[in-house]
Structure 1
Amino acid sequence: MRWDVFAWAAFALLLFAAEAMAPGAFMLWLGFAAAAVLLGVLLVPDIPLLVQAAAFVALSFVSIQVYRRWFRSSERPSDQPALNRRTAALVGRVVPLERAIVDGRGRVQIADAYWEVTGPELPAGTHVRITGGDAMTLQVEPAPHTGA
């Protein structure tokens, strides 16, 4: 067996194994490029090593662009877009003020976490609606009264 055929086969398998160990779709496309070079050296013997390496680099760029254009852009949107953005996930909730808003700053408790809030001056216990957030600070406004 020729050394270049063996080397490209081993390299392609190594890239596919790396993708299996740490999925992210990047090594997969490099593996496809290595497999294409493998087919090239099988079909056309005596291709110089420099040409083989250049073909691998060129095919790697092409395969990654194919992935980025046609496969990555067609990923399904998440059914929970605010999953890792806690402040965005809290927008719309109505909670009571744990500490009054004085000079534009107060505090609410949501589950077992305390959040700093900004908004108009309001006494403790007032129900507020969360309208936005930035890092660990929530913006609030008075919640409309629901008569009971």
Structure 2
Amino acid sequence: MAWTMNTTAWAAIALVLIAAETFIPGAFLLWMGIAAAVVWLLVLLFPGLGVLAQVVLFVALSVVAVLAYLKWGRRRERPSDRPLLNRRAEQHVGRVVALDRAISGGQGRVKIDDAYWLVSGPELEAGTRVRIIAANGMVLEVQAVD
């Protein structure tokens, strides 16, 4: 088991792919890095393995590893206890607030906590209590509360 150009290259590829996973999350590079590490071990054990065979092994192992992760690994992820954490507008759906600015031409404004939000809905006067029924981007859809 000697270190050759091929073994050094596969070790470097494996390290770069696994390290890149920390900067580009998504779990694909991790599994490709593991595939490169397996090819590195095979090249160490079988030094006569040709470059084409090494590349074919790497591609095949990468595809199998990523597909295996997608099939079995993702199922085990826990659901979030706060699914709306990074969806500020959607967090307000269902709340009842007063219009800060009348809805005119389909657009108005409400104040929620310390922030102003654009709203869309039917023509309503300022001060009318409205229920937020949906969020389209950063615009909240509202309807009058009966």
Report the TM-score when normalising by structure 1. 0.82
Q: Which residue of 2 aligns with 1:50?
A: 52
Picking from 128, 133, 136, the partner of 1:134 is 136
> How far has the Cα of 1:43 moved from its partner?
2.7
- Rounded to whole Å, the distance in 1 between the matches of 2:101 and 2:22 is 51
Which of the residues 6, 18, 21 maps onto 2:20?
18
Gapped regions of structure 1 (runs ≥ 5) = none
More moved, 10-19 vs 63-72: 10-19
Q: Compared with structure 1, are the counterparts of its residues 36 and 104 closer, same or farther at alpha carbon in structure 2 (3 Å cutoff)? A: same
Shift of 1:21: 4.8
Q: Per the alignment, do residues 104 and 34 of structure 1 end up closer, same or farther by CA in structure 2, a change over 3 Å counting?
A: closer
Q: Which runs of 5+ in 2 are unaligned?
A: none
Greater Cα shift, 125-134 or 70-79: 70-79
Residues 103 and 18 of structure 1, relative CA distance in 2, 3 Å threshold: closer
Structure 1 vs Structure 2 CA RMSD:
2.1
Structure 1 residue 95: deviation in Å?
A: 1.0
Indicate the SS of the match to 1:72.
helix
- Matches for 1:105-116 after TM superposition, within 5 Å: 105-116=107-118
Stretch deviating more after TM superposition (29-38 or 1-10): 1-10
Q: Hey, what's the Cα distance between the residues in 1 that align with 2:90 and 2:135?
A: 7
Match of 2:31 among 29, 32, 44: 29
Instruction: Give the corresponding residue for 1:61.
Output: 63
Larger mean CA deviation between 7-16 and 86-95 belongs to: 7-16
Task: Compare 59-68 and 112-121 and name the one that shifted more.
Answer: 112-121
Aligned to 2:40: 38
Tell me what 2:80 maps to.
78
Cα distance in 2 between the residues matched to 1:83 and 1:140 = 21
- The answer on 1:125 being equivalent to 2:100 is no
Match of 1:95 in 2: 97
Q: Deviations over 1:60-82 (max 9, x none)?
A: 11111112221124322222222
Give the whole-Å Cα distance in 2 for the aligned partners of 1:80 and 1:99. 31
State the identity %. 55
Report the Cα distance in structure 2 between the residues aligned to 1:104 and 1:18, rounded to whole angstroms.
47
How many residues align structurally? 144
TM-score by length of 2: 0.83
> Which sits farther off after the overlay, 34-43 or 50-59?
34-43
